[in-house]
Amino acid sequence: MGFFGFLLLGLLAGAIAKLILPGKNGGGWLVTLLLGVVGAIVGGFLGGLLFNVGINDFFSLSTWVLAIGGSIIVLVIYGAITGRRR
């Protein structure tokens, strides 16, 4: 997968993760992009570590599940960190 494909995957995975998680999640599209890309990296790492499956193909279901799952994990951690400051 190319660089722009990975950015698009991260943006969409971050947006889907924000839709899945209830409550007010701060940040605009740039934060969503960054959290999605970091989430895709985390999801790919955990998928490779636990299930021997990585993020390889943009149109693969396992790629999307790993990216969205990793984005949810990163979004929960981000919410826990920024929630304490408010």
Q: Which residue has the tokens 């790629």?
A: 63
If pLDDT is split at 50, 70 and 90, which confidence band does 74 have? very high
Rounded Cα distance, 28 and 30, in Å: 6
Q: Distance (Å, rounded) from C-alpha 41 to C-alpha 64? A: 12
Average pLDDT in the chain: 87
Question: Rounded distance, CA 60 to CA 22, Å?
Answer: 26
Give the number of other CB atoms < 10 A from CB of residue 75.
Answer: 23
Q: What is the pLDDT of residue 64?
A: 94
pLDDT of residue 29: 77
CA distance 76 to 80: 6
pLDDT for the residue numbered 42: 93
pLDDT digits (tens, 9 = 90+) for 5-42: 888 998 999 999 989 987 776 677 788 889 989 999 99
State both tokens at 48: 């490779």
